[in-house]
Amino acid sequence: VIKAIVVDDEAPARREMRRLLAEHERVSVTGEARDLATSRGLLLRTRPDVVFLDIRLGRESGFDLLPDVDEETAVVFVTAYDDHAVRAFEASALDYLMKPVESTRLKATLKRVERFVAAREQGGAATRVGSPAPFTPSRWVFLEAGDRPAFVPVEAITHVSAEKGRSRVHVTGGHSLPSERSLEEWMRRLPIEDFRRVHRSTIVNLRQVERLEPWSHYTYRIHLRGTPEPVVMSRRHALRLREALG
Question: Pick from 1, 37, 80, 239: which binds another protein (CB under 8 A)?
Answer: 80
37 makes contact with another protein (CB under 8 A): no
DSSP for the chain reads -EEEEEE-S-HHHHHHHHHHHHT-TTEEEEEEESSHHHHHHHHHHH--SEEEEESEETTEEGGGGGGGS-TTSEEEEEESS--HHHHHTGGG-SEEEESSPPHHHHHHHHHHHHHHHHHHHHHHHHHHH-PSPPP-TT-EEEE-SSSS-EEEEGGGEEEEEEETTEEEEEETTS-EEEESS-HHHHHHHS-TTTEEEEETTEEEEGGGEEEEEE-GGG-EEEEETT-SS-EEE-HHHHHHHHHHH-
Using the minimum distance from each CB to another protein, give the nearer residue, 19 or 139. 19
Q: Which stretch binds another protein (CB under 8 A): 14-22, 38-46, 158-166, 229-237?
A: 14-22
Is 81 near another protein (CB under 8 A)?
A: yes
Question: Which stretch in 10-18, 85-93, 109-117, 150-158 sits in contact with another protein by CB under 8 A?
Answer: 10-18
Q: Is 13 in the site for another protein (CB under 8 A)?
A: yes
Closest approach of Cβ 18 to another protein, in Å? 10
Using the rule CB under 8 A, give the single segment among 53-61, 147-155, 170-178, 212-220 that binds another protein: 53-61
Which residues are near another protein by CB under 8 A?
Answer: 9-13, 15-16, 19, 56, 58-59, 80-81, 98-101
